[in-house]
Structure 1
């Protein structure tokens, strides 16, 4: 039997990531097979979930994924797992006008799968008022059940007593309180948290979080709030198929953003994923039949990538006969040049003709629906793919290549043409999550 619980909050910055990571490690210490899940397209938090549990993370997105795919992925993750903790993105009900149950909010997952919510309330700057917030969450949508409350960033025991008493008088259970502690925060940069893989002391930090959760929260009560997950009903056609049978995957500090569900499905479909490191000046293996350059942080490693002659030459030879696709950071590397934050321009692979810049930063963030303009690694002409963009770089020279896709935002408003394609090479700032089949 596998059980699941959503960890939500009124807003970003409430501390739910720290609470989630600490709980994951605390339950793992008890011998519970626990796995973390992230609601929405955030590709950084699953790395922290994996660091805390040793099990691959997962993204579930109610806008980008059809309901059958959401349910299938969750139930697949439940195999050989005792507990799934699903961390909400932003506020629990925050999403877009994407249609009923397709807003991208974690609340959609609660309605679709019947999973209750553990509400993390940052009570700094308030006490009894926290009860009004909790009551609002309980009544805002009766289909989304608030199972319990965690008080976070409390300033004193008196603060805890006042907040807890008011919430419990309103008929809601408080399962513990975490005191204010600046040492529990995780370092951040322009795309969010610094990745777990880049923090040498991440394991000791996770252990500190787990220590706090063990002493501050009632783990038995939290475990009792989780509900049983139904068995998987089988596969769905909304998966993004593997781009080849043997796929070279760029994988290092510059290329990190491959969604866990994509890699897992590609392997389940029989594909072999062969990692290589452009930063180590490695080229894709010659016996692979496709190459994938994920997103990441090439803007932080542009001089090293520009000097990677073996990588650049090997990728060019590979692209003469086989497909190469780049997403976001991978798309930037496929272009002619990349301007870094200091204004220095570095030569990239030149397999596409555009150029990008990180010097004048502007955040591009949002869901995207892409219609493919030609057959390629993501599907056939006319195939619709859902995903998102999240980057600060911009195209400074669009180049002369044919467009990769036409894109619309999450509400269906047209944005225009996106990305580029030339012979076997394609790329776009758009991160693909799942296909549209209905």
Structure 2
């Protein structure tokens, strides 16, 4: 077993979603980078969009850290990869600080789990619109609720005036919790959104200029030196024995464009470390998967916004079919959006139905949206490129599409939600498979347990 120096970091969290975590995180990253601080990002939980924005702000890869889906050794390895070269890791939380699933301590997926595991203090963002000294009660509740963690400092957001700031900061500082910043209401703290969250980094117009404006705003209203002094790490080196997802092939063709963009950075990292090679192609540019590859991966994304272009991409669809017909030596897997494209049809928001690849027999619709959200476990019934029979995979499902034509394919796996209830099983036909959930990490082998 190897031991490694563990990076210093902070967990940027809040009592609830919508408090300003992402904008604060991005502004801090860019502002610290401009000061010459080597800064890196990480994201609690299964989110594709924020890590790409982190990378744009820092110039370094940002990895997802999920205490439900990932064992402690894998979490530590990914945190260390993010913070290599002694970079300061700013880990953006998700939802509220303690929000997760009902699970044993340290395995709920909550942001607090990462703060406890890594020894990283929490920088708590409080949206104080419509309140004053009550914000101190919320800060005190967050400090005492979980004895595993430490609230290292507070950032106030949506402050209306200097009087407003003094009332709140005075009450919080009486609790001996430092207030490290106060953010007035400002358009710099807004960002364009769509139905799965913020607009992606690759689609955000003038992204670098927006990050610079955000950094100016944060630098003017946050004590950056005190924030850097707050960062800490676990007192002892952490033992790393990570299990990452094995690559499904040696040479992997990966769809990558505005319709296929949701692939966790840590998945690519694990595949690359295992010796896999990648060839990226764009279905929207009517590019086929390179035939020199032995596996094709269709990530999730927004195919529902590009269904007409995909249906008209004849070279892409013909290339997929050729890839699937070359026998057991090759395979195709689609996640969420990729799974929808592998089916017979996809109906867009306007109600227009577009023919898809037809390599699986289901049909999907985005016309009547219904949210499907939550953790998933998948038990593989047979050996394939994603694991041996009896292997258990953990992942996450987040989409608004519905299955309107179930098809007659064999199930991809026995899929359950975090409470043990049955979830959509996906499909498998010959070398082609697909599922609505996105893989996060291998859990364990049922046969070996």
TM-score, normalization: structure 2?
0.95
Q: 1:380 aligns with which of 381, 385, 388?
A: 388
Q: Equivalent residues in 2 for 1:93-172 (5 A)?
A: 93-172=98-177
Which runs of 4 or more aligned residues in structure 1 lie more than 4 Å from their structure 2 counterparts after TM superposition? 229-232
Residue 416 of structure 1 deviates from its aligned partner by: 4.7
Q: Quick check: 1:325–1:377 contact (8 Å CA) kept in 2?
A: no
Q: Secondary structure at the match of 1:362?
A: coil
1:258 and 2:263 equivalent?
Answer: yes
Number of the residue aligned with 1:366: 374
Number of the residue aligned with 1:242: 247
Q: Quick check: 2:424–2:436 contact (8 Å CA) kept in 1?
A: no
Residue 231 of structure 1 deviates from its aligned partner by: 5.0
1:425 and 2:432 equivalent?
Answer: yes
Q: Quick check: 1:300–1:340 contact (8 Å CA) kept in 2?
A: yes
1:436 and 2:443 equivalent?
Answer: yes
Q: Secondary structure at the match of 2:239?
A: coil
Q: Secondary structure at the match of 1:286?
A: coil
Number of the residue aligned with 1:197: 202
Distance 2:265 2:423 in 1: 29
CA shift digits 1:308-337 (9 cap, x unpaired): 000000111011121100000000000000
Distance 1:81 1:285 in 2: 38
Pairwise CA RMSD: 1.2
Distance 1:282 1:200 in 2: 25
Q: Quick check: 1:336–1:354 contact (8 Å CA) kept in 2?
A: yes
Distance 2:227 2:385 in 1: 43
Number of the residue aligned with 1:17: 22
Distance 1:32 1:231 in 2: 23
Q: Quick check: 2:41–2:82 contact (8 Å CA) kept in 1?
A: no
CA shift digits 1:82-121 (9 cap, x unpaired): 2100000000000001222111001011111211100010
1:337 and 2:342 equivalent?
Answer: no
Distance 1:90 1:320 in 2: 44
Residue 277 of structure 1 deviates from its aligned partner by: 0.3
Where does the alignment leave 5 or more consecutive residues of structure 1 unmatched? none
Q: Equivalent residues in 2 for 1:36-435 (5 A)?
A: 36-228=41-233, 231=237, 233-237=239-243, 239-321=244-326, 322-411=330-419, 413-416=420-423, 418-435=425-442
TM-score, normalization: structure 1?
0.97
Distance 1:357 1:126 in 2: 43
Distance 1:416 1:433 in 2: 17
Distance 1:232 1:57 in 2: 20
Residue 3 of structure 1 deviates from its aligned partner by: 1.5
Residue 81 of structure 1 deviates from its aligned partner by: 4.2
How many residues were matched structurally?
436
CA shift digits 1:8-64 (9 cap, x unpaired): 100000001100000000111111221110001111111110111111111000001
Q: Secondary structure at the match of 1:400?
A: coil
Distance 1:73 1:182 in 2: 34
Residue 181 of structure 1 deviates from its aligned partner by: 1.0
Q: Quick check: 2:73–2:239 contact (8 Å CA) kept in 1?
A: no
Distance 1:428 1:82 in 2: 36
CA shift digits 1:267-320 (9 cap, x unpaired): 111111110000000011111010100000000000000000000001110111
Distance 1:216 1:176 in 2: 6
Q: Quick check: 1:374–1:404 contact (8 Å CA) kept in 2?
A: no
Q: Secondary structure at the match of 2:422?
A: strand
Q: Quick check: 1:328–1:429 contact (8 Å CA) kept in 2?
A: yes
CA shift digits 1:390-416 (9 cap, x unpaired): 0000110011110001111113x1315
Distance 2:359 2:346 in 1: 13
Q: Secondary structure at the match of 1:233?
A: strand
